[in-house]
Chain A
Amino acid sequence: MSSLQLEDSERLLIIKNLKKYFPIGFSLFGKVRYIRAVDDVSFEIKKGETLGLVGESGCGKTTLGRCILRLIEPTSGRIIFKGIDLLKVNRRQLRTLRKYMNIVFQDPFSSLNPRMTIREILMRPLRIHKIAKGNKALEIVIETLEKVGLSSEHLNRYPHELSGGQQQRVAIARAIIANPEFIVLDEPTSSLDVSVQAQILNLLNELQRDLDLTYLFISHNLLVVRHMSDRIAVMYLGRIVELADADEIFMKPMHPYTASLLSSIPIPNPDIRSKKARILLKGEPPSPLNPPSGCPFHTRCIFSSVECTKEKPSLVEMKKGHWVACHRADEIKLSSFEELFVVLNNSKFTLEYEK
């Protein structure tokens, strides 16, 4: 596991063997049954990078994001943030540490208190973390609103008076107001329209540059994740199956699941429709309540062998910085996902549609 570990100064967050099992009643013989939402996950996040986390619904990506901030208590494992093990600190210490990390949720409307004005929503973190009071606090609130593209005229509005995009801007303002270093972005644009999504993605990238932020970007939209991330981790049934540089994972995926995910993306270019090599998966994701033996993906994998049904593959570094959990990663040949790059290289898309 040597090169999974980065230089100490580079690492902001280290996740080690993180597990979250949700108990869900008893089996026939009185044993507690669990859903293994996050099942032995290890990775690191570098300072200043965006790590993208993709996977289908129910793969555990949201649970993982919340476990990292201890919004959900993990079952076991270690979360080391700036050298401190978050699972060993008490509630009061955790509250102090929360100043340095925050989260933005998918649905901005339900994540903002409907009875509070924007001013009250943004004043709260300043009060809780004892950053500022009174006029000084108001100054910071206005400054932060301007950073996210809103202004002082929004101060006395209630969330329902704002559009979805503006609400998400408020949620982002709340996340950055206490000067955090790390933000979990959980599907921040999934409930927004394309044109608004572009505005929010631009804003997030700008803020990252200006405020030196580190992101965990969770999404099911692969094109959005690629645009936002430096590295991408792919999750399936509670486990990370592949982790690599964002372009590398699109160009040379090594896990069959990643390859099939990529080939399923509807690409907005009709010219490549016929050329596309689709790897359609058999069936649907198995229930996390009753995961398959061995490799959790073997039931849907066209390459599965006897070994795959018996033993769980662990995440190993196949190439520098490219981690894969697949028994057959070195023998199978996956078609690369170059269609996307054909589109991206296509002048029509890179030079913008102009008159």
Chain B
Amino acid sequence: MVRELLKVENLKTYFFTEEGVVKAVDGVTFDIKRGEIFCLVGETGCGKSVTALSIMRLVRPPGKIVDGKIIFEGKDLLKLNEEEMREIRGKRIAMIFQNPLTSLNPVFTIGFQVGEPLEVHEKLSSNKIRKIVINLLRRVRIPDPEIRVNAYPHQLSGGMRQRSMIAMMISCKPSLLIADEPTTALDVTIQAQILKLIIELKDELGSAILLITHDFGVVAEVGDRVGVMYLGNLVELGNVEDLFREPMHPYTRGLLNALPLKLKRKSMLETIPGSLSSPINPPPGCKFHPRCKYAMPVCSKLPPPQVYVGNDRWVACHLYN
């Protein structure tokens, strides 16, 4: 069996707005191996969510995937028609979002919504689906699943809603789970419970997980490999341990140093100078160069290629060229 489950090659997703072309994802390449947790981390607007939506082919106009390949289980998803894609969505690749309240339909019961993928993909009888759903809810540790199956989303707490979303996501045993900021809206004690659940389910099902987050803490807790994004580019990619031990890209270093982790309280935190450039008119060359303290003349001229630096590690920075 090939170890790669998903290969994203030179993915470009642009948004054609009135103000200009927003290059939300601009040439991103990575792969996800079977059974691993791959994290995409970055700040607001870096393109991490659009990357996930592109994999699901859920990018809506004015957004468009303009180039690249997304090879999933040997098939290029970008070459499939809508019918074939629907077979994959929810069945082979499932996704959950940050805010479970807006992704759940308020007028249907939890039981109905969790069972929907089974109805669509497996064509089972409603009695059978109900039994499976109760089991799924039990599996994601929802107390009294026999009662909750009839509950509406507003009757559940935030943590339980996210658990229901996870139940829905795993109902067809997909081989890739995409979780877009799954714990950002939750409290820290509930976040810990949900992260634990995600790891347990990954081990049980053997699925790979693409976890999108802005929190380096979450990456360090659960990730196997991680990619750091900045303005539509993947600037660094590697094993979680290696990346935290020795972040290579100046942006990754800047982000880690900006975390409030100093022995001496109230001491100055390191900051990244300047602010995020506009995605419509990004700086030429390396998009990070106006904020980079290591910038060299070449940085403003040529975009840095993704260079392999050994040990499953890639970095896009002229310092390593």
Residue positions of A touching B, CB distance < 8 A: 50, 56-57, 163, 165-166, 193-199, 201-202, 205, 220, 222-224, 226-230, 246-247, 260-261, 263-271, 273, 278, 280-281, 283-285, 341, 343-345, 348-350, 352-355
The prevalent SS among residues of A at the interface is helix
Q: How far is the CB of B45 from chain A (nearest CB, A)?
A: 9
Set A50, A264, A353: member contacting B256, Cβ < 8 A: A353
List, in ascending order, chain B residues with CB within 8 A of A50's CB. Answer: 266
Given contact pairs A163-B276, A197-B258, A198-B269, a sample of 20 additional A-B residue pairs in the complex whose CB atoms are under 8 Å apart? A50-B266, A194-B255, A195-B271, A201-B269, A202-B269, A223-B217, A228-B260, A228-B266, A260-B189, A265-B217, A266-B221, A268-B219, A268-B244, A270-B220, A270-B240, A270-B244, A278-B196, A284-B157, A285-B187, A353-B253
Q: How far is the CB of A171 from chain B (nearest CB, A)?
A: 17
* Contacts A223-B261, A227-B262, A261-B189 given; does A273 touch B220 at CB 8 Å: yes
Q: Could you pull out 30 A-B pairs where Cβ atoms are within 8 angstroms?
A: A56-B188, A56-B189, A56-B190, A193-B44, A194-B43, A194-B216, A194-B258, A197-B258, A198-B271, A220-B187, A228-B260, A228-B266, A247-B265, A260-B189, A261-B189, A263-B192, A266-B215, A266-B218, A267-B221, A268-B244, A268-B256, A268-B259, A268-B261, A269-B244, A270-B244, A271-B241, A284-B190, A344-B262, A348-B245, A353-B246
Contact between A353 and B257, CB atoms less than 8 A apart: yes
Minimum-distance CB pairs A-B, first 3: A266-B217, A227-B260, A198-B258
| B147 touches A (CB below 8 Å) | no
Set A195, A222, A247, A263: member contacting B255, Cβ < 8 A: A195
Closest to A225 in B: B260
Q: How far is the CB of B41 from chain A (nearest CB, A)?
A: 10
* Contacts A195-B271, A270-B244 given; does A223 touch B188 at CB 8 Å: no
- In the assembled complex, the Cα of A269 lies from the Cα of B192 at a distance in Å of 16
List, in ascending order, chain B residues with CB within 8 A of A228's CB. Answer: 260, 265-266
Contact between A349 and B187, CB atoms less than 8 A apart: no
Contact between A284 and B160, CB atoms less than 8 A apart: yes
In this complex, the interface size class of chain B, counting residues with CB under 8 Å from chain A, is 35 or more
Q: From residue 25 to 53 of chain B, which have CB atoms closer than 8 A to chain A?
A: 43-44
Contact between A195 and B189, CB atoms less than 8 A apart: no
Contact between B189 and A281, CB atoms less than 8 A apart: yes
- In the assembled complex, the Cα of A165 lies from the Cα of B43 at a distance in Å of 13
* Contacts A194-B214, A280-B192 given; does A269 touch B262 at CB 8 Å: no
